[in-house]
Structure 1
Amino acid sequence: MRCCWGELMHLPNDVNEMGVVLSRVNNSCNTAPREPVNTSQTVSSICDREVNSTNSDHSSIIPIKNKVCEPEEVLVPALPELACVERGYITPLQVYNLLNAEDGQPALYDPYYMLILDCRSAERYKDSHVVTARAAVTVIHPELGCLISCIELQKYSIILLYAEEGCSPVGSVKARADSPDLQRCFFQLSDLGMDPIILLGGFSAFSALYPFLCTSRMVLLEPERYTLTIYPSEILEGALYQGSASQASDYRIIKNLHITHVVNATANSPDAFPNILSYLRLRLSDDAQQDLVKALPLASSFINTALKGEPAGRVLVHCSMGKSRSSALTLAFLMEHRHWSLLHALRWLKERRACTAPNINFLQQLLTYEELLFGSRLTSLDEIRR
């Protein structure tokens, strides 16, 4: 076993001086993740855990002693395995995270954030399309060319195209045969100096994973955009999510993402659905005095146990805004159970949640945690503050 950061024992529902409570309930959300999480080489960093058997649906696991042991075994660093995607394409998960990106306010509220062009037939568009998408024919006419001025097009940060299906290399004979309208649109935009991207697998792949982000409504103007639900970021596909307290209290979000477990890292926000979800409550403050010595391994163990359960659960980690406290806990899990250095874990997280921003105190404690897990410091503070 690696180092033990805390002794645990079963006590009645209560909170210790660190404000750590874990409640367990029977859960009926049995949807398995789309991509299994590899946990075969991991070992929990929490030792000496005792949980009394009980017929009750609720129990609490509370660390009562701060015990630090010398590690007998250290982790071997691993590199994240990145999906191989053809140039010019973007995966459904990446599109999901782009649609739900936020920093201060949701990016999707900005009409010029992302131009999404549905290159299918008008009938299919009317039936259902990705939220905020436009029918491509209203923007890029197959015969007449661009109906939006180049100046207007240049205002968009992202231009996304999709057909019904498709994953062949852009410009290939198969791609031109499968989705001629999309290919024509892609090269028209490219000739105008734009840099469009194509949804891998098309609408069918995206709607199968995220039907709640598809609609028959046309949502374009700012007032309409402000009515949209913004979802937590997806960190591990179909398994681990990170977001805000308001998202954690929205039952529609919980239901649509099939969340079964929640790590609540806020100081004051209550657990929203204690009767149907399993919670780990960590009453943390986002400041220079907050000690994470117990929180990091406890959250890491809780997440890992949920993801490798039978059936596998889905975990939402949240704090108030989903930036600092929740990021520190997610990073600890990625280091311990994916065997990634803090640098690689932070890069992975920021690619999926751009507003990730653990405070300097948390970063320093994560560096210490990295050294404990791997036996040496793999990341420098300068590297992760750039």
Structure 2
Amino acid sequence: MTHRLSELDAFQPYPAEIIPGKLYLGNFRQACDPKIQKDLKIKAHVNVSMETGPFFVDDSDKLLHIKIEDSPEANISPFLRHLCHFLEIHLQLGSVILVFSTLGINRGCVAVLAFLMHWNEQTLKKSWAHVKKCKNNVHPSQGLVAQLSEWEKVILGDSVTDILVPLY
């Protein structure tokens, strides 16, 4: 039975909807698919991977490319303010945004979590519960989760979520 589930997990033709009709979390393959871009009316990309996607490459207003490796040493913290600002502007403009990384389960997920914490002024735990509800196969690295814990202090003035208790 578990084998069948993992096949279903792998078969996710469309990105996960995080903010209905506004913000999606996906993978590199989805970000490169013109049909998905058209169907979801994607107007901007946040690419949190080393690869370069085919869309918005020459339009820095519509593409934020955060080049970080998928490694335990990955450091997303320096990009979080700019990331949130970029997403905020696009949401205010009414643009639909796709946030993605290679698989959409670590770096892209962390970017979305950081934004939700900022946008809703909420804890990492609450943001995590929301993302998990929208997308069942998220697995951010411990290093990036620790950075989100620091980000929580920036947003809320204190660290609220106990990241020693596994979130998944």
CA positional deviation for 1:286: 1.7
Q: Size of the alignment, in residue pairs?
A: 162
* Residue 280 (1) aligns with residue 55 (2): no
Equivalent in 111, 121, 128 of residue 339 of structure 1: 121
The offset of 1:357, in angstroms, is: 1.0
Cα distance, 1:338 vs. partner?
1.1
Q: Give per-residue Cα distances to partners, 1:262-285, cap 9 Å, x unaligned.
A: 001111x21312267810011111
Deviations 1:195-235 (A, max 9, x none): xxxxxxxxxxxxxxxxxxxxxxxxxxxxxxxxxx7100001
User: In structure 1, what is the equivalent of residue 73 of structure 2?
Assistant: 289
Q: What root-mean-square deviation, in Å, do the aligned CA atoms of Structure 1 and Structure 2 show?
A: 1.9
Show structure 1 runs of 4+ deviating over 6 A. Answer: none
Aligned to 2:98: 316
Question: Judging changes above 3 Å, is the alpha-carbon distance between structure 1 residues 382 and 238 closer, same or farther for their aligned structure 2 residues?
Answer: same
| 1:221-370 correspondence runs (5 A) | 230-267=13-50, 269-274=51-56, 278-309=62-93, 312-370=94-152
Asked if the contact 1:343/1:384 (under 8 Å) is kept, the reply is: no
| Cα distance change on mapping 1:243 and 1:104 into 2, 3 Å | farther
> Following TM superposition, by how much is the alpha carbon of 1:244 offset from its aligned partner in structure 2, in angstroms?
0.4
State the SS of the aligned residue for 2:111: helix
CA–CA distance in structure 2, aligned partners of residues 271 and 291 of structure 1:
21
Matches of 1:300 and 1:238 in 2, distance apart?
18
Q: Secondary structure at the match of 1:294?
A: helix
Deviation of 1:384 (Å): 4.1
Which runs of 5 or more structure 1 residues have no equivalent in the other structure? 1-102, 110-228
Q: Which has the higher helix share?
A: 2
| Alpha-carbon distance change, 367 to 302 in structure 1, aligned in 2, over 3 angstroms | same
Q: 8 Å contact 1:243–1:318 — kept in the other structure?
A: yes
Q: Give the deviation of 1:241 after TM superposition.
A: 0.1
Give, in angstroms, the shift of residue 108 of structure 1: 8.5
Amino acid at match of 1:314: V
Task: Provide the C-alpha distance between the structure 1 equivalents of 2:37 and 2:7, rounded to a whole number of angstroms.
Answer: 21
TM-score between the two structures when normalised by the length of structure 2: 0.89
Provide the C-alpha distance between the structure 2 equivalents of 1:239 and 1:374, rounded to a whole number of angstroms. Answer: 24
- Specify whether residues 364 and 107 from structure 1 end up closer, same or farther in structure 2 by C-alpha distance, changes over 3 A only: closer
SS at match of 1:270: coil
Residue segments in structure 2 that go unaligned for 5+ positions in a row: none
Cα distance between partner residues in 2 of 1:258 and 1:350: 24
Contact 2:9 2:137 in 1 (8 A): no
Length-normalised TM-score, structure 1 = 0.40
Percent of residue pairs bearing the same amino acid type: 25
In structure 2, C-alpha distance between the alignment counterparts of 1:105 and 1:270, rounded to whole Å: 27
Question: Which secondary structure does the structure 2 equivalent of 1:381 belong to?
Answer: coil
Equivalent pair of 2:46/2:100 in contact (CA under 8 Å): yes
User: Which structure would you say has the larger Rg?
Assistant: 1
